[in-house]
Amino acid sequence: MLDHIRPSWPALALGGLLSLVTAAAGLTIPLVAERLIDGLTHDRPLDGVLFAMGVLVAVTALAGPVAQYVLRRAAETVVLTARRRLSSHLLRLRIGEFDRTEPGDLIARVTSDTALLRQVTTDALVGTATGALTLAVTTVLMCLLDPVLTGVTLGVLLLAGWVVRTVMVRVNEAGTAAQESVGLVGAALERALGALRTVKASGAEDRAEAAVHEAAESSWRAGVRAAKWLALAGNTAELAVQTAFFTVLAIGGSRVASGALDVGRLIAFLMYVFYLVPAVQQLVGGVSQYQLGAAAVNRIRETESLRAEPKGRGPEPEPVGSPVPASLEFRDVHFRYGPELPPVHRGVSFSVPSRGTTAFVGPSGAGKTTLFSLLERFYEASAGSILLDGRRLDSWDLRELRSLIGYVEQDAPVVSGSLRENLLLGRPGASGPELDRVLRTARLDELVERLPEGLDTLVGHRGTRLSGGQRQRVAIARALLRRPRLLLLDEATSQLDAVNEAALRDTVADVSRTTTVLIVAHRLSTVAMADRIVVLDGGVVRAVGTHAELLAGDPLYAELAATQFLEPTA
């Protein structure tokens, strides 16, 4: 069974035991009834029988509710355990796993699939166990009363059991389809809502709607299919009990008439036949819940088998004193995103000394952003080595490595929440004065002053309430606040106006005195100020040099400078 259930097993065992006690108490009622009828018809003292009845009622009244509560509580704990483990796992997945999965589907696994564990634990696990045990004990008691009638009853039930088993395979299939469709609903919704502006601008709401509805309807179809088979299974069970009842009544009645059987015994036996109803229902219900839940359990397992990053040691270290700029070297680095994909890097080599600015230029798709992804170890190089401070990147503790890097991503580098939350994301412990200083450096101070709620202004989903240039400055401020030893700027100022861009160019020049700065940019003004420029093309480094050197010596750079860079040196 699933690991998530293991921590809750003591509670489940206790709940199961109490359920059994309740069931056992119920099971003795026919025996007491037999005595009662016996006592009344033969005029014997009833004290013992009345006392037994009192005990039975008390046990049922106490153990029943406690069992229910303990079981349901344990089931909630199972769901909580699963949600905790699954969400922790998702947040630590390797970036590469997200290239192959839909976030909406992953979310559905944490929210919807885990919810099904509730039924799996209570109904499926405990229900099946108590149902089966009750059935067994009832059978034994019935056997003691009358073996022949018991044989008749069991024969009918076994026939029904075979039908139910066949039906349950279909229920499992339908359950799998239903849960998959729930994931599809999540994925389709996330796809549309995650890019709602694009969807609207493309006039694609109707198509997005159709996709979500189609997924929802497919879940409905699967649910209806499951309902059909479940109804058949439930009905078969009831039919079997009815058949058994009438058969026992007919055979037993004739034996009472011939004097071979007591009336009290026949009544007790018939009561047991009716006791089989809840037991069989519990059993069928338990098995069907298990079949429905099995699909969810499989999806949870599947999600847990996605690969996570190695765990970092302890919390992220706080920066201390003034940072020592990092040095960097790429040695014949090869990389591709997947075995079936063309290589992005085919032997990239360059080195970056401690301090200063290094710009990376090259046509779009040359692998500039990928270089930064490798530095953050979002992906691992397939061959060659990357050295940071002379140490192989893969020998660094992941947390320690990332704690010394400030990374401004190419797109949408803002998360929902307030401006303050965005800035403190990278360093929750930053002081007020430091925050103010970074705001000034990133030229955000004026914006924050203008906003009525200042730093507590909410930025909207992925920063939709900010302009592109404002978003970029927030991301830069966030990266600077980490006091990084290595600053990665990926087209980080592409959306700024000329004034802000020039100011941030000065900031970068300033920062590069105490930090190693790597920068990807398309503006000639930004590239030209770099201490060295690396030209990337065709998966290799074509040339390294200053702006003047490359302009004279490298035709691709000269062409990029003439055609692709957006504006002349300001």
Query: Between residue 383 and residue 412, which ones bind Mg ion under the rule CB under 5 A?
Result: 410
Q: Rule CB under 6 A: choose which of 15, 26, 252, 367 binds ligand ADP.
A: 367
- Exposure on the CB side of residue 181, measured as CA atoms within 13 A: 19
- CB closer to ligand ADP, 245 vs 379: 379
Residue 173 or 537: the one with the smaller Cβ distance to Mg ion is 537
Q: Which of 258, 322, 364, 431 is in the footprint of ligand ADP by CB under 6 A?
A: 364
Distance linking the first and last C-alpha atoms of the chain: 67
For residues 183 and 362, which CB has a smaller minimum distance to ligand ADP in the complex? 362
Q: Give which of 557, 569, 510 is closest to 533, Cα–Cα.
A: 557
Residue 327 to residues 358, 391, 520, 533, 546: CA-CA distances in angstroms?
Answer: 11, 10, 18, 16, 19
Q: Is 370 in the site for Mg ion (CB under 5 A)?
A: no
To Mg ion, the closest distance from the beta carbon of 335 in angstroms equals 14
Strand 532-537 versus strand 357-361 pairing type: parallel
Instruction: Tell me how far, at minimum, the Cβ of 358 lies from ligand ADP, in Å.
Output: 15
The interface with ligand ADP within residues 220-279 (CB under 6 A) comprises none
Shortest Cβ 366–Mg ion spacing (Å): 8
Query: Cα torsion for 483, 487, 489, 493, to the nearest 10°?
Result: 40
Among 6, 50, 99, 400, binds ligand ADP (CB under 6 A): 99
Interaction residues for Mg ion, span 403-462 (CB under 5 A): 410
- Could you give the CA distance from residue 113 to residue 106 in angstroms, rounded to a whole number? 10
Does 369 participate in binding ligand ADP (rule CB under 6 A)? yes
CA distance 194 to 36: 70
Residue 309, classified by CB atoms within 10 Å of its CB into exposed (0-12), middle (13-18) or buried (19+), is middle
Retrieve residue 9's tokens: 């097993």
SS3 276: helix
Measured CA to CA, the distance from residue 259 to residue 257 in angstroms comes to 5
* Of residues 505-534, those binding ligand ADP (CB under 6 A): none
Q: What is the token pair recorded at 569? A: 């040196």
Alpha carbon distances (Å) from 471 to 375, 443, 487, 495 = 23, 12, 17, 9
* CB-closest chain residue to Mg ion: 369
**In terms of CB distance, is 126 or 328 closer to ligand ADP?**
328
Q: Could you say which of 45, 314, 365, 428 contacts ligand ADP (CB under 6 A)?
A: 365
Smallest separation, CB 339 to ligand ADP (Å): 12
Among 368, 473, 505, 547, binds ligand ADP (CB under 6 A): 368
> What does the alpha-carbon distance between residue 483 and residue 317 come to, in Å, rounded to a whole number?
12
Among 370, 403, 422, 500, binds ligand ADP (CB under 6 A): 370
Q: Which of ligand ADP, Mg ion, none interacts with 367 (beta carbon under 5 to 8 A by kind)?
A: ligand ADP
Q: How far apart are alpha carbons 37 and 268 in whole angstroms? A: 10
Least Å distance, CB 104 to Mg ion, is 25
Would you say 553 and 546 are in contact if contact means Cβ atoms under 8 Å apart? no
Q: Is 472 in the site for ligand ADP (CB under 6 A)?
A: no
CB of 369 or CB of 493, closer to ligand ADP: 369
Longest Cα–Cα distance in the chain: 122
Q: Is 337 in the site for ligand ADP (CB under 6 A)?
A: yes
Q: Which does 366 bind (CB under 5 to 8 A by kind): Mg ion, ligand ADP, none?
A: ligand ADP
Of the candidate spans 177-185, 197-205, 364-372, 414-422, the one that interacts with ligand ADP by CB under 6 A turns out to be 364-372
CB of 413 to ligand ADP, least distance (A): 15
Both tokens of 505, joined, read 């160019």
Nearest to 363 by CA among 91, 158, 113, 564: 564
493 sits near Mg ion (criterion: CB under 5 A): no
As a whole number of angstroms, the distance between CA 124 and CA 291 comes to 9
**532 binds, options Mg ion, ligand ADP, none, Cβ within 5 to 8 A by partner type:** none
Q: What angle do CA 128, 131, 136 make, to 5 degrees?
A: 120
Out of 150, 219, 288, 369, the residue judged to bind Mg ion by CB under 5 A:
369
Could you give the dihedral angle defined by the CA atoms of residues 27, 29, 30 and 34, in that order, rounded to the nearest 10 degrees?
150
Q: Are 164 and 233 in contact (CB under 8 A)?
A: yes
Mark the segment that binds ligand ADP (CB under 6 A) among 24-32, 319-327, 367-375, 438-446. Answer: 367-375
Over the Cα atoms of the chain, what is R_g?
35
Partner whose footprint covers residue 365, from Mg ion, ligand ADP, none (CB < 5 to 8 Å by kind): ligand ADP
Instruction: Tell the smallest beta-carbon distance from residue 188 to ligand ADP (Å).
Output: 21
Q: What is the spatial distance between Cα 153 and Cα 139, in angstroms, rounded to a whole number?
A: 9
- Closest approach, Cβ 401 to ligand ADP, in A, equals 20
The listed partner (Mg ion, ligand ADP, none) that binds 99, CB under 5 to 8 Å by sort, is: ligand ADP
SS3 457: coil
User: In angstroms, what is the minimal distance from the CB of 163 to ligand ADP?
Assistant: 50
Asked if residues 74 and 12 have their Cβ atoms less than 8 Å apart, the reply is yes
Q: Which spans of this chain sit near Mg ion (rule: CB under 5 A)?
A: 369, 410
- Residue numbers of the site for ligand ADP (CB under 6 A)? 99, 337, 341, 344, 362, 364-370
